[in-house]
Structure 1
Amino acid sequence: MKKLIFSILPAFLFAFISCMNMSSGSGENGSVRVVLPGSGRATYTYSKNNAGKFIVRLYNDDFDQTEEGAVGGVIEFGDLEPGKYTATAEAWNAGENILEGSGSTEITVRAGETTDCNIAMILEGQNAYCSKYMLIPDSGGNMYAYDYLTCTEKKNWPCNSFPCLYFAESNDGSIYYVKQNYNSSLDIYDNYYTWKYNFNTDKAESAIVVQNINAGFFDGCYDSTTDIYWVIREAVDSNNLSSYTLCLYKDGSGYNTGIIRNGFGNCAIRGENLYYSFGNDSIGYATFDYTTRDGSANPITTKTLADFGVSGTITDMAVLEDGTVAVLVRSVGVGTETEGFGNMSLKDKDTVYSRGALVLLSSDLSKVEKVIGWTDSPRTISATGEDKENPVKKWTSITAYIPEYAERNSHFYGPVKIVAIRPKELVIADCGANFVLPDYDGKKNGKMYAHNRLMTVNLRNFAIGCKKEFSESELKFKDLMISGGSTDSYTIQASSSYNACETEK
């Protein structure tokens, strides 16, 4: 997997952040002491010209703390429950706000001890794109910006009036989005506008007309290499019939790509490379020249999800710094792998799908580099006991393509969107469900546990982690509902009390 691994030359080994071993205490909890570069006790040679600010995060399912320190300083994490933790570190050039290096490691904290650890930090490209925020949609179409480090809400854009769509973060941390204008004189929503929101001024700084409301289906994507926010639409002919042409817009100017596709979904752009999904399960690759206007694209190849070894619906795409194409696949449904559950009825012997994958492809789509988080095989969920009071058909089991409880932090339930791109890490909004069938002897209904969580994917070792779990009352990415059953007495009922990020008890 050459595309996702740095060429490790001596100059690229940035530093070791050291967790020094201190004298053991007698308490039940443990601690971690992080010695930052520049200290005499640090275990490497360091040049202070590289970075002046260090951000260290220590977390597991029950603990999450982020601390900031300077050259030569010390960061301490104390009163830690014994167990496994993940430590991540970032080195920043504070003056120029450039990420210089990053790394992560797994730590085991023991009672009464301070744990030894080393975090190898690899030098990042100075122009590497690095999200400061996580841009999250909810089930109602509202959009939220959460601070990456603290996981706290920074801003929200309600959609109940003047909807905001197709968010992306730019190199400078501003937020691009498309907003539909309300024409009060006609009492309709008409034109779409591209805005750029600045967190420092708390204002949207520009508004450019993209197209009128009859323009077809949209998506928006940001190219960090050119600092261009593109809006792409599927335009139809005057009779809304067969001519489905993909058109690109920037700064209000339209570019006819010459690509004819029906059922456009998502797009991703890096330089002259254009990637687009269509028909739910297909992805196309083309190169285009945006110095010209008409027929400027050169379609090269198309692939389907079957070529990747997965099935379902493509929900989002991104092009990573090294050119790798990241594709999200969501496979959620009852009986079929369609999007969502809706008001479908769950019946005895049904097959339930609640899974997904992150598929990493080569830049020319010629090969699959990695499939991450996919549930390959089903498990059977069985009802327990027998209803002896009512002579009715009993639940027995359902076949479910969903993660086992023990696998819930290493698999997806249903990826919705890539909400942040960090050097060597993606943050993905994941939404799906787990199921428990009825217990007849105990007269207990079955339950559906909805999961709304932010998952991280480490692009060095491809490990999946849970960054944050939202309750449905707090934020839900999709409406998950299911009804029915073999009797009116034993129905599958929605519940959000189970936390998919918790350590299994």
Structure 2
Amino acid sequence: MKKLIFSILPAFLFAFISCMNMSSGSGENGSVRVALPGSARATYTYNSSNAKKYIVRLYNDDFDKTEEGTVGGVIEFSDLEPGTYTATAEAWNTDENILEGSGSTKITVKAGETTDCNITMILEGETAYYSKYMILTNYSNIKKLYNYTTMQEIYIEDFTLGEAPYNPVEDREGKIYYIIIGGTLHRNDEQLLQIDTSNLIKNPLYYDSKTDSLWLASFESNPAGNFVNFSVFEKPSAATSNPNPYKISYDDIDSSITSCQAFAVKEDNIYIAYNNSNILLTKKNDSSNTKASISLSNITPALSGEVTDMAVLEDGTVAVLVNDKNLNPANQFTLTDGCTVYSRGALVLLSSDLSTYKVYGWTDSPRTISATGSSSDYDVQWDKITAYIPEYAGRNSHFYGPMRIVAIRPKELVIADCGANFVLPDYIGKKNGKMFTHNRLMTVNLRNFAIGCKKEFSESELKFQYLTISGNLESVTAGWTNLSAENEK
């Protein structure tokens, strides 16, 4: 991925890090001393109150160490072998967990000396789009809106009435746009205009932060062909109650394209997910460019399932969520012959031209979940499941079924993920089997692509999507005990 680079604002001077040259006396090794903003050793002007934490890393092939500091502090790396090192620095707004700036430089460490260096940091957080909220939508259309930093639930009138099955989106000013079932587009509590909801796609709204425009998509199929239509609202936060969108229609769609479930926009590039598993790159001014660009089956490892959401990040990278939850039983009512259960997914990061990609969080290999013992005394017996499901130990590095990108930060995505894991009955110990559901918010760090869990919801708190399986797993026979979460594998 490209490094984000933005212009330096006059009020935000990011020549942050100074390293003072000092004699350290005799000795074979050297050191690096980093003076942070506010320190008497710093040699620059600093007038930002936002960045309060600084992370400095020094490394080469034989050395790698990271230290944290605060305003006015000093970080020292000592006992360093002479040679060339790379120093990187990040400035963080700890109140909102926003990266304000970052930079790097090469440093030559000499024997017996403390190296003098400067790292110029490039502004990131002020100009990059970042979500202020996390918008959570579950299967039964109950909406929740959370503050990103505090996880406090936010109330917007009409937003939680269960009338809005369409995906809400947030603009760069933190205003929320959504459609209610009666056919009106809303901005926070304000109704903007009536719209035709008869042909809207599954995820019809998208906000392009680069051009400050709100896009509304519909898919139409008739004897003349298949059509993808967009209404584009420019500067929607300043729009009146009667905004005047301009229209883009792709009326040369191949007849084999039978559905459209998600799309994403960044400036002139439009990415359309169609027929569940294909992604098309086209241009605003070229409605005839409808040739398939990439398919999930052509990605390595080959992905299955469907595209559930898309977004274009600040550097042009296209983030695609793939969800694969299904049941392929030999006999879905008795399951005596076993079955194959899928509850997995992936984040795919594609280059802006869709020519290169990386896959994260995908469960590629199956595992067998077996019952303990056997019995022919019961009408329903689960012997085994072939599971394409992450093991419980890998739950924070893999997905069960990603549904929505609910927040975009300069260097982080937050993803609503849901699915299930299974434990089969213990016939000898007379313990029921159990389906363990997982409804959680997953984070993906866009620097090192580590996946983590921000919050896991109980089913009573929030359920992103119902997941059911045929057969009688939890009630093998009356009077048996249920398994607890500690039994999950």
Identify whether the pair has TM-score above 0.5, normalized to the shorter chain.
yes
User: In the alignment, which residue of structure 1 is the partner of 2:327?
Assistant: 334
Once the 2 structures are TM-superposed, how far is the Cα of residue 179 of structure 1 from its aligned partner?
2.6
Of 445, 448, 452, the match for 2:435: 448
Unmatched 5+ stretches in structure 1: 17-35, 57-68, 74-87, 104-119, 182-191, 198-202, 290-294, 337-342
Residue 398 in 1 paired to residue 349 in 2? Answer: no
Q: Tell me if the contact between 2:263 and 2:271 (Cα under 8 Å) persists in the aligned partners.
A: yes
Give the TM-score taking structure 2 as reference length: 0.72
Once the 2 structures are TM-superposed, how far is the Cα of residue 499 of structure 1 from its aligned partner?
9.2
Distance (whole Å) between structure 1 residues aligned to residue 2 and residue 132 of structure 2: 22
Residue 381 in 1 paired to residue 369 in 2? Answer: yes
Once the 2 structures are TM-superposed, how far is the Cα of residue 283 of structure 1 from its aligned partner?
1.1
Q: 1:445 aligns to what SS in structure 2?
A: coil
Once the 2 structures are TM-superposed, how far is the Cα of residue 486 of structure 1 from its aligned partner?
8.8
Once the 2 structures are TM-superposed, how far is the Cα of residue 313 of structure 1 from its aligned partner?
0.8
User: What is the one-letter code of the residue matched to 2:127?
Assistant: N
Q: Tell me if the contact between 2:38 and 2:46 (Cα under 8 Å) persists in the aligned partners.
A: no
Distance (whole Å) between structure 1 residues aligned to residue 435 and residue 15 of structure 2: 47
User: In the alignment, which residue of structure 1 is the partner of 2:63?
Assistant: none
User: In the alignment, which residue of structure 2 is the partner of 1:207?
Assistant: 192
Q: 2:279 aligns to what SS in structure 1?
A: strand
Distance (whole Å) between structure 2 residues aligned to residue 122 and residue 227 of structure 1: 23
User: What is the one-letter code of the residue matched to 2:361?
Assistant: G
User: In the alignment, which residue of structure 2 is the partner of 1:180?
Assistant: 181
Once the 2 structures are TM-superposed, how far is the Cα of residue 4 of structure 1 from its aligned partner?
4.0
- Map 1:95-110 → 2, pairs under 5 A: 100-101=100-101
Residue 412 in 1 paired to residue 408 in 2? Answer: no
Of 243, 246, 254, the match for 2:225: 243
Residue 166 in 1 paired to residue 167 in 2? Answer: yes
Of 279, 283, 286, the match for 1:287: 283
Residue 303 in 1 paired to residue 305 in 2? Answer: no
Q: Which structure has the greater CA radius of gyration?
A: 2
Distance (whole Å) between structure 2 residues aligned to residue 177 and residue 496 of structure 1: 41
Q: Tell me if the contact between 1:349 and 1:399 (Cα under 8 Å) persists in the aligned partners.
A: yes
User: What is the one-letter code of the residue matched to 1:316?
Assistant: D
Distance (whole Å) between structure 2 residues aligned to residue 344 and residue 220 of structure 1: 39
Once the 2 structures are TM-superposed, how far is the Cα of residue 363 of structure 1 from its aligned partner?
0.8
**RMSD between aligned residues:** 4.0
Distance (whole Å) between structure 1 residues aligned to residue 486 and residue 252 of structure 2: 44
Once the 2 structures are TM-superposed, how far is the Cα of residue 469 of structure 1 from its aligned partner?
0.4
User: What is the one-letter code of the residue matched to 1:332?
Assistant: K
Distance (whole Å) between structure 2 residues aligned to residue 385 and residue 99 of structure 1: 54
Q: 1:306 aligns to what SS in structure 2?
A: helix
User: What is the one-letter code of the residue matched to 1:398?
Assistant: I
Once the 2 structures are TM-superposed, how far is the Cα of residue 196 of structure 1 from its aligned partner?
1.6
Q: Tell me if the contact between 2:278 and 2:292 (Cα under 8 Å) persists in the aligned partners.
A: no
- Map 1:82-481 → 2, pairs under 5 A: 90-91=92-93, 100-101=100-101, 123-124=123-124, 126-155=126-155, 157=158, 162-163=163-164, 165-181=166-182, 192-197=183-188, 203-204=189-190, 207-210=192-195, 212-217=196-201, 219-237=204-222, 241=223, 243-251=225-233, 252-260=245-253, 261-289=257-285, 296=287, 298-299=289-290, 301-308=292-299, 309-335=302-328, 348-368=337-357, 370-387=358-375, 390=377, 395-481=382-468
Distance (whole Å) between structure 1 residues aligned to residue 246 and residue 440 of structure 2: 37
User: What is the one-letter code of the residue matched to 1:419?
Assistant: V
Once the 2 structures are TM-superposed, how far is the Cα of residue 71 of structure 1 from its aligned partner?
5.3
User: What is the one-letter code of the residue matched to 2:130?
Assistant: C
Q: 1:429 aligns to what SS in structure 2?
A: strand
Once the 2 structures are TM-superposed, how far is the Cα of residue 318 of structure 1 from its aligned partner?
0.4
Distance (whole Å) between structure 2 residues aligned to residue 486 and residue 313 of structure 1: 27
Shift in CA distance, 158/223, structure 1 to aligned 2, threshold 3 Å:
closer
Shift in CA distance, 499/322, structure 1 to aligned 2, threshold 3 Å:
farther
Q: 1:326 aligns to what SS in structure 2?
A: strand
Q: 1:149 aligns to what SS in structure 2?
A: coil
Once the 2 structures are TM-superposed, how far is the Cα of residue 52 of structure 1 from its aligned partner?
3.1
Distance (whole Å) between structure 1 residues aligned to residue 296 and residue 270 of structure 2: 18
Once the 2 structures are TM-superposed, how far is the Cα of residue 487 of structure 1 from its aligned partner?
11
Shift in CA distance, 319/442, structure 1 to aligned 2, threshold 3 Å:
same
Shift in CA distance, 313/39, structure 1 to aligned 2, threshold 3 Å:
same
Q: Tell me if the contact between 1:348 and 1:486 (Cα under 8 Å) persists in the aligned partners.
A: no
Q: Tell me if the contact between 1:452 and 1:477 (Cα under 8 Å) persists in the aligned partners.
A: yes
- Residue deviations 1:57-102 (CA, integer Å, cap 9, x gap): xxxxxxxxxxxx99559xxxxxxxxxxxxxx9733899xx996237
User: What is the one-letter code of the residue matched to 2:279?
Assistant: I
Once the 2 structures are TM-superposed, how far is the Cα of residue 397 of structure 1 from its aligned partner?
1.7
Shift in CA distance, 213/196, structure 1 to aligned 2, threshold 3 Å:
closer
User: What is the one-letter code of the residue matched to 2:326?
Assistant: G
Distance (whole Å) between structure 2 residues aligned to residue 177 and residue 420 of structure 1: 16
Q: 2:198 aligns to what SS in structure 1?
A: helix
User: In the alignment, which residue of structure 2 is the partner of 1:84?
Assistant: none
User: What is the one-letter code of the residue matched to 1:230?
Assistant: W
Q: 1:230 aligns to what SS in structure 2?
A: strand
Once the 2 structures are TM-superposed, how far is the Cα of residue 245 of structure 1 from its aligned partner?
0.3
Q: Tell me if the contact between 2:92 and 2:100 (Cα under 8 Å) persists in the aligned partners.
A: yes
- Residue deviations 1:272-314 (CA, integer Å, cap 9, x gap): 100111111111110113xxxxx74533543211112211111
Distance (whole Å) between structure 2 residues aligned to residue 489 and residue 412 of structure 1: 29
Once the 2 structures are TM-superposed, how far is the Cα of residue 13 of structure 1 from its aligned partner?
8.3
Number of aligned pairs? 402
Distance (whole Å) between structure 2 residues aligned to residue 426 and residue 335 of structure 1: 32
Higher mean C-alpha deviation, range 394-403 or range 316-325: 394-403
User: What is the one-letter code of the residue matched to 2:457?
Assistant: F
Give the TM-score taking structure 1 as reference length: 0.69
Distance (whole Å) between structure 1 residues aligned to residue 144 and residue 428 of structure 2: 45
Once the 2 structures are TM-superposed, how far is the Cα of residue 480 of structure 1 from its aligned partner?
1.7
Q: Tell me if the contact between 1:246 and 1:259 (Cα under 8 Å) persists in the aligned partners.
A: no
Shift in CA distance, 134/55, structure 1 to aligned 2, threshold 3 Å:
farther
Q: Tell me if the contact between 2:335 and 2:383 (Cα under 8 Å) persists in the aligned partners.
A: no
Q: 1:417 aligns to what SS in structure 2?
A: strand
Q: 1:406 aligns to what SS in structure 2?
A: helix
Distance (whole Å) between structure 2 residues aligned to residue 287 and residue 245 of structure 1: 15
Q: 1:166 aligns to what SS in structure 2?
A: coil
